[in-house]
Amino acid sequence: MSVFHLAYTVTDLESTRRFYGDLLECPEGRSSETWVDFNFFGNQLSLHIGEVIKSSNSSSSVEGVSVPMPHFGCVLDWNIFYDLVDKLQSKDFKFIIKPSVRFLGLPGEQATMFFEDISGNAIELKAYRNPSEVFTK
């Protein structure tokens, strides 16, 4: 089993716990006074108190859409992705890029959405219509 580990900075742990734990429903792992780990859809996300590098200063184009750089995220199951979309939309959640499908009808067709966490870290969650095409050229 391979689990990806990613460490990012956040402004405070209390709001971070509400965002990742309560809103995104990511189970909390180990923590200290300066960091907290979450099971981020099967991966280890370690969030540390520190200066946050805002993604709004840089972007890259994907299918003519400007996506924030840097960003991190996860590939979800198609149904889990849309269940989360429904949950976020029911809370009038603010998206950087609203949920949409790109590469429609092509290999690698994917649903995607971008948003920021409570500290301003850009996150992309996506789902492939055909999961076997994650690395298809």
Per residue in 50-69, pLDDT (tens digit) is 988 775 566 666 767 777 88
Residue 134 contacts residue 88 (beta carbons within 8 Å): no
Residue 25 contacts residue 38 (beta carbons within 8 Å): no
Q: What is the pLDDT of residues 12-27, one digit of tens each?
A: 999 999 999 999 999 9
Q: What residue ranges do the domains of the chain occupy?
A: 5-133
Handedness of CA 74, 26, 130, 65 (dihedral sign): negative
**Backbone φ and ψ of 14, nearest 5°:** -65, -50
Q: Could you give the CA distance from residue 9 to residue 71 in angstroms, rounded to a whole number?
A: 12
- Predicted confidence at residue 19, as pLDDT, reads 97
Q: What pTM was estimated for this model as a whole?
A: 0.90
Split the chain (137 residues) into runs of 10 and give each run's mean pLDDT. Answer: 92 97 97 98 97 70 76 95 96 94 94 95 96 91
Residue 20 contacts residue 38 (beta carbons within 8 Å): yes
Give the percent of the chain with pLDDT over 90: 80
Residue 37 contacts residue 73 (beta carbons within 8 Å): no
Spell out the residues 6+ positions from residue 135 whose beta carbon is closer than 8 angstroms to its own.
none
Q: Locate the DSSP E strands across the chain.
A: 5-10, 28-31, 35-40, 43-49, 59-62, 65-68, 72-76, 97-102, 110-116, 122-128
Q: What is the CATH number of domain 5-133?
A: 3.10.180.10
